Amino acid sequence: MPPPARLLVDGMAAGALSPLDRGLAYGDGLFETIRLVGAAAPLWPRHMQRLRESCVRLRLPMPDEALLAREAAAVSSGLADAVVRITLTRGVGERGYAMPASPQPTRIVAAFPAPAPYSGEGVRLRLCRLRLAEQPLLAGMKHLNRLEQVLARAEWDDPSIADGVLLDAAGRVVCTTMANLFAVIGGRLVTPSLERCGVAGVARAQVLATRDAEVRDLALGELAHASELFLSSSVRGIVPVRSMAETVYVPGPVTRDLQSHWRGLGFPTEHI
């Protein structure tokens, strides 16, 4: 029996993408990166909610959610710990930025093995030089225009540094290249507002829905006074931060409590 197809394009195995797809031409589309545990995807409804809301903002037709679920199950079949990426584009269009009157979106569903868990007592972060541009019309969405993240991630190649903190042009903390950031400051759980830039992560939404947290502008200097710092990521879960640049942190009760919540959702224990 052949192994299951790990990639479907509009439902077809071994499907390829038209070089005229607007997803390539303009980054005209969205994606979701979904952690599976066996056949379960504990945060699936939140992924679908973000995709639905972003489709409205980008005027893309939302695909059928049951179809996406079937395709995600098909591509990840047999993988114990998979990450499924769903990419949705505005499909093939004529040359030019104008949206086609009747778009035929392209749907790509692909499975990858989940990354190995982080080891040690929390991850090391650096501060990126790149400052995120402020574009309220795109802020929050996981769209396909990700050159800023590519350039920011290229700032370091030390494998002991897990991620980089990104500021906006005004010097406010926004997120990291691949996760959202939470800090405990003065006993309060705080996460940056994402009205101007940054991706509103699904794991962040889960934290905000179940914990009392402040969403507000966060100055870089405040991080030095945080008693706890952690990342939230749909792929990695709740990840304690051991250090950001020169500041050292110790995973505390808020972080540990959320890690426990994550295990309760069905995710495996991260060993940090």
Position 211 contacts a second copy (CB under 8 A): no
Q: Which residues pair with 180 in a beta bridge?
A: 232
Q: Is 154 in the site for a second copy (CB under 8 A)?
A: yes
CB 134 within 8 A of CB 35: no
Position 13 contacts a second copy (CB under 8 A): no
Buried b (16+ CB within 10 A) or exposed e, 4-30: ebbbbbeeeeeeeeeeebbbbbeebbb
Stretch that binds a second copy, among 26-34, 39-47, 117-125, 262-270 (CB under 8 A): 26-34
138 forms part of the interface with a second copy (CB under 8 A): yes
Cα–Cα distance, 124 to 249 (Å, whole number): 10
Minimum distance of a second copy from residue 10's CB (angstroms): 10
Q: Please identify which residue in 2, 3, 19, 186 interacts with a second copy, judged by CB under 8 A.
A: 19
Site membership for a second copy, residue 18 (CB under 8 A): yes
**Of 37, 70, 112, 217, the one binding a second copy by CB under 8 A:** 112
Phi and psi torsions of 129, nearest 5°: -75, -40
# residues near a second copy by CB under 8 A:
55
Q: List the one residue from 13, 40, 133, 250 that touches a second copy (CB under 8 A).
A: 133
**Degrees to nearest 5, angle at CA 32 with 9 and 104:** 40
Q: Interface residues for a second copy in 169-208 (CB under 8 A)?
A: 169, 177-178, 197
Indicate whether 31 belongs to the interface with a second copy (CB under 8 A).
yes
For residue 58, state whether it binds a second copy (rule: CB under 8 A): yes
Given 5, 25, 215, 220, the residue binding a second copy (CB under 8 A): 25
| Closest to a second copy by CB, 155 or 222 | 155
Q: How far apart are CA 102 and CA 114, in angstroms?
A: 36
DSSP H/E element including 176: strand 173-176
Residue 103 binds a second copy, judged by CB under 8 A: no
Joined tokens for residue 103? 């778009």
Of the candidates 267, 254, 172, the residue with the CA atom closest to the CA atom of residue 207: 254
Q: Give the binding range for a second copy (CB under 8 A) out of 37-45, 48-56, 108-116, 260-268.
A: 108-116
Give me the phi and psi of 202, to 5 degrees please: -70, -35
Distance between CA atoms of residues 96 and 146, nearest Å:
20
How far is Cα 111 from Cα 84, in angstroms, rounded to an integer? 4
Q: Under the rule (CB under 8 A), what is the footprint of a second copy?
A: 7, 9, 15-28, 31, 33, 58-59, 83, 85, 87, 89-90, 95-99, 108, 110, 112, 130, 133-135, 137-138, 143-154, 169, 177-178, 197
